Amino acid sequence: MSDEAAGAGAVEAPRPIRVYLVDDHEIVRRGLREILSRAGDIEVVGDSASAEEAVRRIPALRPDVAVLDGRLPDGSGIDVCRQVRSVDPTIKGLVLTSYDDDDALFAAIMAGASGYLLKQVQGTDLVDGIRRVAAGQSLLDPSVTAHVLDRIRNGPPEDPHLRELSPQEKRILELVVEGLTNREVAEHMSLSEKTVKNYVSSMLAKLGLTSRTQAAVFATRRTV
């Protein structure tokens, strides 16, 4: 058989899952690199110790999954996830944190994270989680997200804050909690991105809030 014929029948190896690591502890980043290097199908393409550097480098490297520390010296992995996905929504965010915090969990949902894991997770479970997130699956409990959205749609009538919102603003709040960026909300609702920004600003003003993260936390607390 000729080399050309043999090459024609060869099966091309699948592309490895490209991962970017963000954690302010060097020893943690080194440990994660070692765990992921053993997986065989994962390639670590970069790492950062700060939110500022991560926001700058991740969109340029275009990893499939960014593994993000929950708390950083200059921000959080949730902030990084939100900013990176506003630039490139194809990059999946997986928040890896030491803190089991309901508010942070829902802020992660709002930021568009595909997963939220505690650092106590086993290495094999982290590898499995990265594979699932890269494949488009979510590690977030859908029942939790559904519960939040249900209370936004059908919240208690005595809640004066939600009563202040117009139907359009309430729908945008639902999409914000689902993790959509302004650009994605605009596409979903057939509006311009500028119009969505104006709605978000109006929604936050009526709720007495200053950020999308606070809006997610507000929505979360209305589920209690």
Query: Helix 167-177 to helix 102-111 angle, to the nearest 10 degrees?
Result: 100
Question: Which of 151, 141, 131, 74 lies closest to 109, judged by CA?
Answer: 141
Q: Which residues of 104-122 are buried (b: 16+ CB within 10 A; e: fewer)?
A: bbbbbbbbbbbbbbeeeee
For the whole model, what pTM was predicted?
Answer: 0.64
| Contacts of residue 201, Cβ cutoff 8 Å, sequence gap at least 6 | none
What is d(CA 132, CA 203) in angstroms, rounded to the nearest whole number? 34
> pLDDT at position 208, please?
83
What is d(CA 138, CA 221) in angstroms, rounded to the nearest whole number? 23
What is d(CA 81, CA 54) in angstroms, rounded to the nearest whole number? 10
DSSP state of 99: -
**pLDDT digit string (tens) for the chain, length 224 residues:** 555 555 555 556 689 999 999 999 999 999 999 999 999 999 999 999 999 999 999 999 999 999 999 889 998 999 999 999 999 999 999 999 887 666 677 778 778 889 888 888 899 999 999 999 999 988 876 665 666 666 666 654 446 777 788 889 888 888 887 778 888 899 999 999 999 999 999 988 888 888 777 777 776 565 44
Cα distances from 66 to residues 103, 129, 140, 180, 189, in angstroms, run 21, 12, 16, 17, 28
Question: Which of 78, 216, 82 lies closest to 152, judged by CA?
Answer: 216
Give strand ranges (E) for the chain.
17-22, 42-48, 65-69, 92-97, 115-118
CB atoms within 10 A of CB 127: 19
Instruction: Give DSSP secondary structure letters for 45-83.
Output: EEEESSHHHHHHHHHHH--SEEEEES-BTTB-HHHHHHH
What is d(CA 67, CA 41) in angstroms, rounded to the nearest whole number? 16
